[in-house]
Amino acid sequence: MTTTSTNLKAVIAQPKSDKERLNAAFKQLRAHKFVAKQNFLCCQTCGWAEIGAEPKDALFYHRQDTEHALKDGKLVSKLYIAHRISSEGRGLLVRAIFADNGFYAIWDGSDSSRIALVNMTPELKAISMLRTADRVCSKDGHEWGWQLQARELIKNAEKSIGVRS
């Protein structure tokens, strides 16, 4: 027979659903002063109209995105996120927050392309570490040979997941 305490253990040990991890990521974004909304209105036009021009950093996905990407709390397709991000540093923070919650952000860093979220895999984790190393090493102005290879790997890995442009 199960007891209350073993039931409790089962609950605690249960891995978080994709949606729960997504909730955690958006909560962290808000804690870092991003306007961050999930399942927000019907489309990008209405979303941006509601958020307005004031917030420097804002991210959201709308109801059509939800319907496309989430089924029963599971990420079944890339989740596209509209955004306005004020600096490269803030963009890196966004990537890091999603990575900490088990998501890889497919994103070229530009304002014009939406961020596409997929579940993190060991390969993607390696890719995101390469991306960080590339960025850190680029700071001193010298470009090492491996960085070009790293960028090629990142490009191919993202292409293999399929990036909608």
- Name the residues that contact Zn ion, by CB under 5 A: 42-43, 46
Cβ distance to Zn ion smaller for residue 49 or 148: 49
Residues found in the chain: 165
Phi, psi (rounded to 5 degrees) for 48: -70, -35
Residue 75's alpha-carbon distances to 11, 36, 49, 79, in angstroms, are 21, 18, 27, 8
User: Minimum distance from CB of 59 to Zn ion (Å)?
Assistant: 17
| Smallest separation, CB 129 to Zn ion (Å) | 38
- For Zn ion, the closer of residues 58 and 97 by Cβ is 58
> 41 vs 137, which CB is nearer to Zn ion?
41
- State how far the Cα of 152 lies from the Cα of 157, in Å rounded to an integer: 9
Shortest distance in whole angstroms from residue 61 CB to Zn ion: 13
In angstroms, give the least distance from the CB of 45 to Zn ion: 5
Identity of the residue, 42 or 76, whose beta carbon is nearer to Zn ion in the bound complex = 42
Here the tokens at position 99 are 């990575």
Helix (H, G, I), strand (E, B) or coil at 148: helix
